[in-house]
Amino acid sequence: MFSDGTRAAGLTLWLAMLGVAHAQSLPADGDTPPFSTLYKWKYVDFEFPSHIHREQALITKKFIPMNVLPLGIEVFGSRVWVTFPSWRGGVPATLATVSRVGGHPSPLLRPYPDWNYHRAFNENQNCTGLTSVFRVNVDSCGRLWVLDSGQIDSQDNPKQICPPSLVVFDLYTDKLIARYAIPKKYVLQDSLFANLIVDTRTEDCSDLHVYISDTWRFGLLVFRERDETFWRFSHHLFYPDPLASNYTLHGLNFQWSDGIFGLALTPIDHNEDRLLYFHAMSSYREFVVSTSVLRQSSRVNNSASEFNLAGESRGLLGQSSASAIDRRGVMFYGLVTRDSIGCWDTEKPYQKKTSGVVAMNRETLIFPNDIKVDQEEQQSVWVISNRLPMFQAGPLDPDDYNYRILYADTMEAVKDTICDPEIDLLPPNEAVQRGWWS
């Protein structure tokens, strides 16, 4: 599981402090170096209150295992959060946790914070629970920001049963602390709020903002916690590229015109500012804007030139899903049509020769959907792969491992590659040899 003894010792100490005996990943571990597989599932199953509850949920079709797709991921302390959007019927819980420690290859998921928040046991919750969670993000004050679309059966017969909302939990007490409905005027017809990222710089998080991408209506929403205010705007760089909207993946051809989706924040710079790197899903390009622009509602519509293209195109098959940046400024991103995780040191120009591949695997990395970097002193990058296009096209094979959670130490993952901040730009010849974009 570990590439050297020092790291293993460090982690063991950390686990001992958490009161956990030892971490253990799967025998299939070596499949995706430098990543380790924490868990893999053929289908998702939950910790029901009892065997009878589970049987009942299966009979009443409140639980249809092959309809439950893990989508988003987040990691904090000793737990990993996984989201399950209610795209089809039979999703009994939309947010759940598993232990970060591993050991069991395919553990049951534990609904978060408990079953009372989820539809299988609380259908008349009157929007006090969770309906359909897409993504989650933890702030630096131990609070989980949950993006709930409020819509069920989205794939077959969409029903908006609650307003799209941000729901906030305190991870030290697991209590709900706030719920902010996105104002109606910012929810357009067919809006799809697919991703969020929390931005805070002060120790007490009093300056917290959340950026939310509307992937189908090509907008960005900003939420300022201090006065509980939202604003919305659009920009032409949020639109999909029609030439990148034709996907072919393991023989499956499909068309997605998904706009702005991937959101990643750089570390705080010498001006106490951060950059937001963003991209449409159906695009080969990366863009960037200073968050000081986003944070002032009066500026977002009058600063078109502050939104910029970052360097070169990723080229054919360069569509990217989620992205995340570690404390050293290294970006990790999912390359969904290449079964790969890419990397880039944000201190270098965004070019073919400065871009690397951390891992590629035609089995374990089919559609790397979400990516997060955790808050530990020694950070890890976390990936969930879920075969989303195959899930949408028809039932996945319940005898195959369809979903995986993988992790890697962020420093080890890029060591001695062009993504390593310690490595300067390579001379041109070598760059060509190591290049992977054709």
Ligand X SMILES: *[C@@H]1O[C@H](CO)[C@@H](O)[C@H](O)[C@H]1NC(C)=O
Please give the residue ranges that form the binding site for ligand X (CB under 6 A). Answer: 126, 231-233, 246, 248, 253, 297, 300-301
Which is closer to ligand X, CB of 28 or CB of 293?
293
Q: Which residues pair with 334 in a beta bridge?
A: 341
Alpha-carbon span 289 to 293, nearest angstrom: 7
Which is closer to ligand X, CB of 99 or CB of 297?
297
We find the least distance from the C-beta atom of residue 238 to ligand X, in angstroms, to be: 12
We find the least distance from the C-beta atom of residue 211 to ligand X, in angstroms, to be: 13
Which is closer to ligand X, CB of 173 or CB of 248?
248
Which is closer to ligand X, CB of 1 or CB of 176?
176
288: tokens are: 């960037």
Instruction: Say which residues have a Cβ less than 8 Å from residue 156's Cβ, sequence separation at least 6.
Output: 88, 89
Which is closer to ligand X, CB of 202 or CB of 301?
301
We find the least distance from the C-beta atom of residue 247 to ligand X, in angstroms, to be: 8
Alpha-carbon span 21 to 427, nearest angstrom: 47
| Neighbour-count burial of 407, counting CB atoms closer than 10 A to its CB (0-12 exposed, 13-18 middle, 19+ buried) | buried
Pairing of strands 368-373, 380-385: antiparallel
Instruction: Say which residues have a Cβ less than 8 Å from residue 407's Cβ, sequence separation at least 6.
Output: 35, 36, 38, 75, 380, 381, 382, 383
Which is closer to ligand X, CB of 3 or CB of 337?
337
Which is closer to ligand X, CB of 160 or CB of 375?
160
We find the least distance from the C-beta atom of residue 326 to ligand X, in angstroms, to be: 31
We find the least distance from the C-beta atom of residue 250 to ligand X, in angstroms, to be: 12
Which is closer to ligand X, CB of 231 or CB of 278?
231
We find the least distance from the C-beta atom of residue 254 to ligand X, in angstroms, to be: 9
We find the least distance from the C-beta atom of residue 114 to ligand X, in angstroms, to be: 20
Alpha-carbon span 334 to 371, nearest angstrom: 7
Task: Note whether 33 and 399 are within 8 A (CB).
Answer: no
Task: Note whether 289 and 307 are within 8 A (CB).
Answer: yes
We find the least distance from the C-beta atom of residue 141 to ligand X, in angstroms, to be: 26
Instruction: Say which residues have a Cβ less than 8 Å from residue 437's Cβ, sequence separation at least 6.
Output: 314, 315, 318, 352, 355
Task: Note whether 326 and 346 are within 8 A (CB).
Answer: no
Q: Which residues pair with 383 in a beta bridge?
A: 371, 406
